[in-house]
Structure 1
């Protein structure tokens, strides 16, 4: 029992300290949590308890639910530039897999390098005072569209891995769509019930609710989405992501309620996932020059995958420096890179060593590219004023 408590306290202590250090260093806290997990479980702690693996999986499911909530379908629809936002991420999914295959690496690595996430984009845009500017809204639109495309690609790959190109795969895909449709209908009915009983909803949503009924409901929706996906034969994280998208689409105004949802996730559950990713990282990989060089090469390819569609910048209404800034910021999809690597290892498409290199690539990219974007931010404000 004492050993279990020591493990719990050290993990929770790291989760509490890493955001403070990350703020001082201007890097994502998730990157430091991965480093902390690698150091902790390869020097101080000898093994990972079973409950730690469970909390790691729960943290991953909840992380994807929060990622889904960040994706605002209404914002994409109202922008009037949906086609443009979708066209920018797509070429990388076509070019990168065969390119990585020609280089003698798994084609799945190319899929992963093409992925885009809004997790780091939003806070960096806020810090740079660009979120409300035209360029900031364009970057956010591309990030949201790219994140949705990335999850859809992961879903299709997961189904194909299990069933191949067979009628059964199509049946499983239709089953998943039907389950998500039922989830959307259930949430819509819940929304209508809330519309008829606004006083009860206000009591649930308000910050001083002592029983936190609303938070309990959200957590139930997050894990119910994962269960629905599992029942359909795909990874639970894909279902929780779609559950977050549906929840965000149905409940338009969340206010401080959303802060509570993020507090539960980033304050407790998701650090277990990132620290667990670091715990699974083999430190011997850092001792191999070939491995480190390959990770650096993947980091460069990650940037190339984001800059490639932006070469004809004028076609997208962007200037050269704006296209460069957008590519830099989109090239840091830390959470989704780590999630896709974890999923690829589960499916047998990546070896543990390649997944380790991908984690190292994600950490390098999430530190280097946002730093370069911050240096470019003053010029971006001059290029496109309010």
Structure 2
């Protein structure tokens, strides 16, 4: 085979086979990345048939890692994380610790060294953001409280893994591996670690002080030219050059450089356009990354070491899930939140692959360990959609055994009841607002300015705690549960206001409210025109749809302006 066409052959065969198996995976309602991994296995040296160039595949995988990390940086939202920080931050750190310890424990029983066991355990502790976002999106849960907690949890996991990727090369020799740079073996390990941390701190400071201003400024200058391809090139050049500069100038990983490149691009006024323009390129390189990961996998491990594979899958799908659910329930969140977060974390993905590849290059992790991680990822991602499908039946089964539900949810939660300071006089003719998102916040603020009594029913505990700190009456829980509306004293309320939510939940809440208070008036904020029409047909209350109300307000403003202009011209 002529050397100069190996890249073309790899791309042609890799993309062709990835397309076929990605399509099959999508038809089976599985994440397409399962198909990409299988495509890599088929063209790998470990299976018969067409063999792709592994060296070239690894170089393309490096680009894939950079663009994956760039995408993670662009999706990283400090605002989203802050909304759920009290559960996501301690929860994710404790869950990573539990999963890592389980991984260390089982692999040391197999006779592995501590260094190998640590990399193995860390690889099993982090779930795939790609798989999670797809699973939540397919079920319409991305903007729900449970979805935000799961995404916030994964953001913390991503940050921890970024830190691990930075520190692992510096710690490699201490853990029994080999340093990436020659001569580093003879250096003092703590000096190496200190220098690494200083370099990372220097790079972060540079990005936050200079990069945060320079990159958006360059994007703005290029955007004014109106050239789409130049704008796309600017974003790609920023991602690749910052990643390379981080490695060359500061000596930190290209993955960290790409992550911060994504973060500074997100700070730009053109972040949405940048995300849309670079999405196809990022997806192409992500596919190459998953194909190259598949090429590293040796399927013989499934036959030769089935017990090890089962142990790995058990940690990912049972150990991590139970630990996460226990932590969510400990923080007094409801069963459905615990089940959703548990299902979200019952898989591993891209960070696990990146960490495993780094572990092998540092001679910390054996090829057997890498194969076990890849097998665990393939099996857990394939089964993840079935776990999500089981959330509702399991929740219903627990709810039907109320003693078990009370035990799990630890009844007596102070946030599930209104404070004693809220007088009985206050709880008459009040407005009950379900949900304290953008719509709920605006309505609450306006009503309170007019001295109209308000009670908020909200799922997010942190929001309820913040409201109570401001002396606003609020109760925590799902409004589809009668106890929550009873606590909000719906039986004495004048109005029920529902923020945008699932139409089935709207029906449940209104049914409960009208059973407890047949005279109550209901106002519903619909998410779409179709939803607004369905609610109107069901005649459950007044319906408001954002675009419709905006059009009415703008029309009234236009008519008012025309009337004023007409009046002025006639007076002259």
Structure 2 partner of 1:201: 223
Cα deviation for residue 56 of structure 1 reads: 2.3
Question: Is the aligned partner of 1:14 residue 2:17?
Answer: yes
Picking from 270, 280, 287, the partner of 1:271 is 287
Q: What is the match of residue 293 of structure 1?
A: 307
Give TM-score scaled by structure 2 length: 0.60
Correspondence for 1:167 among 168, 174, 191: 191
CA separation in 2, counterparts of 1:14 and 1:275? 9
1:153 aligns with 2:164: yes
Match of 1:61 in 2: 66
Aligned-partner Cα distance in 2 for 1:316–1:302 = 22
Q: Hey, what's the Cα distance between the residues in 2 that align with 1:201 and 1:95?
A: 47
Query: 2 CA distance for matches of 1:191 and 1:49?
Result: 35
Would the aligned equivalents of 1:322 and 1:380 in 2 still touch at CA under 8 Å? no
Distance of 2:126 and 2:345 partners within structure 1: 9
Q: 1:8: how far off?
A: 3.0
> 1:356, 1:192 → 2: CA distance?
41
> What secondary structure does 1:296 align onto?
helix
Higher RCO structure, 1 or 2 (CA under 8 Å, sep 6+): 1
Change (3 A) 1:96 1:145: closer
* CA shift for structure 1 position 127: 0.5
Is residue 184 from structure 1 mapped to residue 219 from structure 2 by the alignment?
Answer: no
Question: What is the DSSP-based 3-state SS (H/G/I as helix, E as strand, rest coil) of the residue aligned with 2:43?
Answer: helix
Does the CA contact (< 8 Å) of 1:179 and 1:228 recur in 2? no
RMSD: 2.8
Tell me the alpha carbon deviations over residues 45-100 of structure 1, each in whole angstroms, 9 at most, x when there is no partner: 235165433222212221221122222123223x1x31321111111333344443
| Correspondent of 1:283 among 282, 299, 316 | 299
Structure 1 residues 269, 378: CA separation in 2 closer, same or farther (over 3 Å shift)?
Answer: same
Which residue among 363, 369, 375 is the counterpart of 1:348? 363
Distance (whole Å) between structure 2 residues aligned to residue 380 and residue 122 of structure 1 = 22
Answer yes or no: is the 8 Å Cα contact 1:67–1:119 preserved in 2.
Answer: no
Q: Distance in 2 between matches of 1:166 and 1:312?
A: 34
More helix, by proportion? 1
Provide structure 2 residue ranges, at least 5 long, that are not aligned to the other structure: 173-178, 400-476, 481-500, 502-572
Q: How far did 1:256 drift? A: 4.2
In structure 2, do the counterparts of structure 1 residues 325 and 216 end up closer, same or farther at CA, with 3 Å as the change threshold?
same
Residues 284, 49 of structure 1: CA spacing in aligned structure 2 closer, same or farther, 3 A cutoff? closer
Relative distance call for 1:66 and 1:180 in structure 2 (3 A) is same
Output the CA distance in 1 between the equivalents of 2:54 and 2:342.
40
Give 1:115's match in structure 2, choosing from 120, 126, 135.
126
> Mean Cα displacement is larger for which, 317-326 or 295-304?
317-326
Equivalent residue in structure 1 for 2:143, among 125, 132, 136: 132
1:107 is displaced (CA, Å) by 2.4
Indicate yes or no: 2:227 matched with 1:222: no
> Please, what TM-score do these two structures have when normalized by structure 1?
0.86
- Match of 1:213? 230
Contact 2:68–2:286 at 8 Å: present in 1 too? Answer: yes
Give the Cα–Cα distance (whole angstroms) in 2 for the partners of residues 187 and 341 of structure 1.
Answer: 30
Q: Which secondary structure state, in structure 2, belongs to the residue aligned with residue 119 of structure 1?
A: helix
- Residue 351 of structure 1 and its aligned partner are, at CA, apart by 0.3
Tell me the equivalent position of 2:333: 318
Report the structure number with the largest CA radius of gyration.
Answer: 2
Q: Does 1:76 align with 2:76?
A: no
Using the TM superposition, give the Cα deviation of residue 159 of structure 1 relative to its aligned residue in structure 2, in angstroms: 2.5
Find the aligned partners of 2:33 and 2:162 in 1 and give their Cα distance: 20
1:366: how far off? 0.9
